[in-house]
Amino acid sequence: MEISSFLDRKLGRRFRTFDRDGDGFIQRKDFEHSASMMIEEFGHKPDSPAAQRLLSLSLGLWDHLATVADADDDGQISETEYKNAFAAGLLETPDSFDAAYRPFLEAIMGIADTDADGRLTEDDHVRWTGSLMGLPQADAREVFQRLDSDSDGLITTGDLLEAIREYYFDDDPASSGSWLLGPLDQQTTD
């Protein structure tokens, strides 16, 4: 897969959301910490079924990334290794991406959907993106407005999945998915 300069910038942004301690590498502890922060933010006990599912899927994501991206097998993934894994076909197709990513989004909803109606409010969205990925509140609010295409004040798992798919597979800077993690560095795109 050829990585456009625009996708390269998006991958760099996503890498930084994984690298919670800012040491320039993503490691298993970053995934554990992020899941724990979200579980705590929403008041779940660490041994609750929803918390255990989120942690399990987060660590499964780490294990998969480590298997395909940790080229030097040192237990951590550099930004270069992360981007190289995408160039080598980590995502493959939008359909395989959806099948792999939907369970993770459902686990997020199991924590963040506080009234269990299958939809997130703007505040729910701000809380989960802030706790899981360190997204600043102003960016999270802007993202929510872009994802709430029908302006009903709610977003669903389907809305999130579509935006995440656009983030990785769409080079249109105006797409909602391009804003999924807030604004990107200002550079020209391919």
pLDDT above 70 coverage of the chain, percent: 92
Q: What value does the mean pLDDT take over residues 105-134?
A: 95
Number of domains in the chain: 1
Stretch among 96-105, 122-131, 170-179 having the lowest mean pLDDT: 96-105
Q: What pLDDT, in 10s, does the model give residues 142-165?
A: 999 999 989 999 999 999 999 988
Q: Is the pLDDT of residue 168 over 50?
A: yes
Domain of residue 106, residue span: 5-171
pLDDT above 90 coverage of the chain, percent: 67
Question: 10 Å Cβ neighbour count for 17?
Answer: 18
Q: Is the pLDDT of residue 188 over 50?
A: no
- Helix H segments across 42-156? 49-69, 79-87, 94-112, 122-133, 137-147
16 vs 184: which has the higher pLDDT: 16
Distance CA 64, CA 70 (A): 10
Q: What pLDDT, in 10s, does the model give residues 38-94?
A: 999 999 999 999 999 999 999 998 998 899 899 999 999 999 999 988 877 666 666
The domain that contains 26 carries what CATH number? 1.10.238.10
Distance CA 55, CA 105 (A): 12
Q: What is the pTM of this model?
A: 0.88
61: number of CA atoms within 13 Å, CB side? Answer: 25
DSSP 184: P
179 vs 96: which has the higher pLDDT: 179
Residue 96 lies in a domain: yes
Residue 159 lies in a domain: yes
Structure tokens at 8: 């390269």
Residue 120 lies in a domain: yes
Q: Which of 113, 114, 104 is nearest to 34 (CA)?
A: 104
119: number of CA atoms within 13 Å, CB side? Answer: 9
Residue 177 lies in a domain: no
176 vs 33: which has the higher pLDDT: 33
Residue 87 lies in a domain: yes
Residue 178 lies in a domain: no
Give the pLDDT score at 187: 42
Q: Are 54 and 107 in contact (CB under 8 A)?
A: yes
Residue 17 lies in a domain: yes
Burial (0-12, 13-18, 19+ Cβ within 10 Å), 129: buried
Give the pLDDT score at 140: 95
> What residue type is assigned to position 184 of the chain?
L
Residue 181 lies in a domain: no
Give the pLDDT score at 91: 60
